[in-house]
Structure 1
Amino acid sequence: MAQTAEVFNISHPAVGNVRELLTRLDKSKGKAAAKTGIVIEVTTDSEKNLDVYVSALEMLGQYFSTRIAGAPEEAIKLIVQALVPAKPVTSNQLKQAQMLAKAKTAVLQSGDWVTASEIASLANLSAANPSSQPSKWKREKRIFAIRHEGVDYFPLYGLDETASYRPLAALKEVIAVLEPMKDGWAMAYWFMSVNGWLGGKRPQDLLRSSPQRVVAAAREEVAGITHG
């Protein structure tokens, strides 16, 4: 038996704040009790951009209605199966996700990270291709980066302001030790966390003044991971 397709109708948007729109939906429930509506909040100063966005949603709704119409029930089950997680998310997984989000937020809000363009400005590098030199340093493992929303961010504490903002020599040694066990984000967490091997100080704070102590702490970190 074929599954009857739902009809998706995306009409022109009602403009207003979310509370007003929800009130309007509540009042309209008596007139169309069998229908369900949603409110999508879109912030834009351009009515043209809003029209383009709604038109795209209309096209998507029409496409979905056409594709699903008359589809065998088994096909619909397969679509649903593909969209539903294979296993329920456990409380531990949720906690881990929350901790990871908190850690990433702390890194991004620390003020310790700069883009390739910002490095080019600080180091008086070529403005024509500002990412060229920092990317080369990254390939040579003289510096590491975290990637966020398609952009590489480099640690400001890994650059030597007394040498035209080139990477500190010790950073390459630390990266060589940590890289087999940690990606860029994991290195960022390690550098910003207090470290028992450094007397409760953060590795990033001692990278200039006591670089070999930081290298030694990195070795202890990797040894702990390997044996732990």
Structure 2
Amino acid sequence: MQTALMPRSISSPETFLARRAPDAANGPHQCTPQGQADQQFVAMLNAYRGSGGIGRTEEVLKMLKYYDESPVTKLADWILKRKVICFEWRSQTWLPWFQFHHADMRPQPDLAPVFAELAPVFDPWELANWFAQPNPWLSDCTPADTLHVNPPGVLHAARADRFVAAG
């Protein structure tokens, strides 16, 4: 985001605020729906950074093609059957990397029972957020970071949060 520069002293409060004001030509203001979606996406990027980050569909397909003859069909099937976490932002589909085996790009098998708990009550964006946010049932660790070391704990947290979301 560019800042607006004013020919005043740095000590001026107006200059300080003007330099941090969003440039209208640079995109939506944070108070608009698109601006809020952008903020949520940046928060998601930051939250998933520790567990491997997130990738666009094209990036996932590029990796998957080394292990499957029809990567588009395979990934589409996983998305349609909600076997992987994905969400839309700015007309692109994004997928967290933690959910794939590094050896062959298959979805982590420990995700299936967690998805069975949460998919009925969370939309794709909410599900992606659930995995990225600190969870009190997991000692304030994220489910994405915890899945590899404590799959039963993540499943327990999903069950508890499903009842909270559904209630």
TM over 0.5: yes
Given candidates 116, 130, 137, the residue that maps to 1:176 is 116
2-structure distance, mates of 1:149, 1:172: 27
Structure 1: tracts of 5 or more residues without a match: 1-18, 20-39, 43-93
Shift of residue 132 of structure 1? 2.4
- Shift in alpha-carbon separation, 1:181–1:219, aligned structure 2, 3 A: same
- Determine if the alignment matches structure 1 residue 141 to structure 2 residue 58: no
DSSP 3-state at the match of 2:93: strand
Tell me what 1:24 maps to. Answer: none
Structure of greater relative contact order (alpha carbons < 8 Å, 6+ residues apart): 2
Contact 1:116 1:131 in 2 (8 A): no
- Of the candidates 95, 102, 106, which is equivalent to residue 154 of structure 1? 95
In structure 2, distance between residues paired with 1:95 and 1:159: 34
> Residues of 1 paired with 2:41 and 2:157: CA distance?
22
Do the aligned partners of residues 215 and 41 (structure 1) sit closer, same or farther apart at CA in structure 2, a change above 3 Å counting? closer
CA distance in 2 between partners of 1:105 and 1:161 (Å):
25
CA distance in 1, matches of 2:91, 2:36: 22
SS at match of 2:84: coil
- Structure 1 SS opposite 2:110: helix
Give the alignment's TM-score, normalised by structure 2. Answer: 0.68
Q: Does 1:202 align with 2:142?
A: yes
Q: In structure 2, how many angstroms separate the alpha carbons of the residues matched to 1:101 and 1:157?
A: 22
Q: 1:198 deviation in Å? A: 0.5
- Give, in whole Å, the separation in 2 of the partners of 1:151 and 1:130: 17
Distance 1:97 1:41 in 2: 14
- Specify the code of the residue in structure 1 equivalent to 2:121: M
Equivalent in 23, 33, 39 of residue 102 of structure 1 = 39
The size of the alignment, in residue pairs, is: 137
Is the radius of gyration larger for structure 1 or structure 2? 1
- Measured after TM superposition, the shift of residue 146 of structure 1 is 0.4
In structure 2, relative to structure 1, the CA distance for the partners of 1:113 and 1:200 (3 Å cut) is same
Shift of 1:183: 0.9
Confirm or deny: 8 A CA contact 1:116 1:130 kept in the other structure.
no
Aligned mate of 1:113, from 42, 47, 54? 54
Q: What percentage of residue pairs aligned between the two structures are identical?
A: 21
Question: Structure 1 length normalisation: TM-score?
Answer: 0.52
